[in-house]
Amino acid sequence: MNIKLGMVTLAAMMVLVGCSVVPGSNLTVGGKEIRVPATRSADINAMATVFPITPILLAQLQQQPAYMDKYRSTSAQQPYRYRIGSGDVLNIRVWNHPQLNVVTEANNTQGKQVSSGTWVDESGYLFYPLVGKIYVKGKTLPEVQTLLTARLARYLKQPQLDVNIAEFRSQNVTVTGAVKQSGQLSVTNVPMSLLDAIGLAGGFTEQADTNRIKWTRNGKEQTISLQDIVRRGDTAQNRLLGGGDIVYVPPREDAQVYVMGEVGKQSVLTMGNNGLNLTEALGKAEGMNQNLANATGVFVIRNQPLQTEGKPIHIYQLNLSDATAYAWGTQFALKPDDVVYVTAAPVVRWNRVLSQIMPSLTTAILLNNTLK
């Protein structure tokens, strides 16, 4: 009897440790030092906010950001004016005084000829006869004309001047990424918008993601959608570019959405230029598994930018127990790196627990019956 008891005990121990005696590698955190930054909670639940997908939420998500309205109002109030910079070459003519209009060779910092005219040096000054050196960097052409007229009036009676730019050299816009001709474009006295810059760069390549164009100014980046400009007529996104701006067009393969959980096919979907909505993503993943999925538990998990206020993880929940809610899913636009997750029904989760336990229980019962 003691032998039978010992064998049953041994069999039970083998069942309990069986999960650890499996092929392949394993990694445990037990006994290892675990460090959590003091400024960040280790509880992931404290980092997430859940938003049920409703018509009210969809209306809020479709609203333009506040900075769009601010940019639209300020750009409408301030007409474009080109401002002179170091390296620009000015053409200055004084009427009825040809001796002042002798063409000089403007040189760059290496002493090489670049153009005929009056060059603005690296410190922002230009030199003109009778006037001497004057600071013109950051000034408009009318301001320079007024300044020169006032200075020449000390020596000439009612001088009349014409000032224009012979060569624009001080300011550039960089266009790179999925465009046909990456490079730098000179900023001139003709306003250059975002679409103008892309056109001058030869247009988009076939791989371009036109929904996530990155515009960077003074180290601050904003994402601009060509589709919003073209389809919705949102001209506020067609930004007016200035010197030092960077326009980056990312390739489309970088914009992916992950569909996981109880769907027909676990999928990694590439977003097209027309975007991707939640219902479309579920359809491309062969829909919910009707035998396994919990229709109330369709979630979109999204990381928020670090500079945004609030919790860093937003979770959007769509209740598809009534299939009418698929209409809301068509209005919910996904973003790159979103995770669409469909949960399992409670009974399915319980059955999966049983499926893990039953083989071990069956083995123990068979051993016990054998030893009786």
Chunk the chain into consecutive blocks of 10 residues (it has 372) and report each block's average pLDDT, rounded to whole numbers.
52 51 72 73 79 92 62 58 93 84 54 67 92 93 94 90 91 95 94 94 91 91 86 82 94 89 93 88 93 91 77 92 93 93 78 68 65 62
pLDDT value at residue 229: 85
Please list the residue range(s) of the chain that carry CATH number 3.30.1950.10.
89-167
Per-residue tokens: 175:
């266009």
Fold of the domain spanning 255-349 = Outer membrane lipoprotein wza fold like (3.10.560)
- Cβ neighbors of 96 (< 8 A, separation 6 or more) are 160
- The residues that bridge with 261 in the sheet, in sequence order, are 342
Q: State the Cα–Cα distance between residues 301 and 320, nearest whole angstrom.
A: 17
Please list the residue range(s) of the chain that carry CATH number 3.10.560.10.
171-253, 255-349
State the chain's maximal CA–CA distance in angstroms: 129
The CATH number of 89-167 is: 3.30.1950.10
pLDDT value at residue 150: 93
Element (H, E) at 197: helix 194-200
CB-CB contact of 261 with 219 (8 Å): no
Q: Which of 239, 235, 196 is nearest to 216 (CA)?
A: 239
Q: The CATH number of 171-253 is which of 3.10.560.10, 3.40.50.720, 3.30.390.30, 3.20.20.140?
A: 3.10.560.10
- Cβ neighbors of 22 (< 8 A, separation 6 or more) are none
CA angle, 252 then 255 then 260, to 5°: 135
Provide long-range contacts, Cβ within 8 A and 24+ apart, for 225-228.
226/195, 226/273, 227/273, 227/274, 227/275
Per-residue tokens: 121:
């040096």
Q: How many helices and strands (H and E) does the chain possess?
A: 9, 18
Element (H, E) at 51: strand 48-52
pLDDT value at residue 73: 47
Q: State the Cα–Cα distance between residues 319 and 313, nearest whole angstrom.
A: 20
pLDDT value at residue 305: 75
Q: State the Cα–Cα distance between residues 251 and 233, nearest whole angstrom.
A: 24
- Cβ neighbors of 76 (< 8 A, separation 6 or more) are none
Tokens 């569909």 locate to: 259
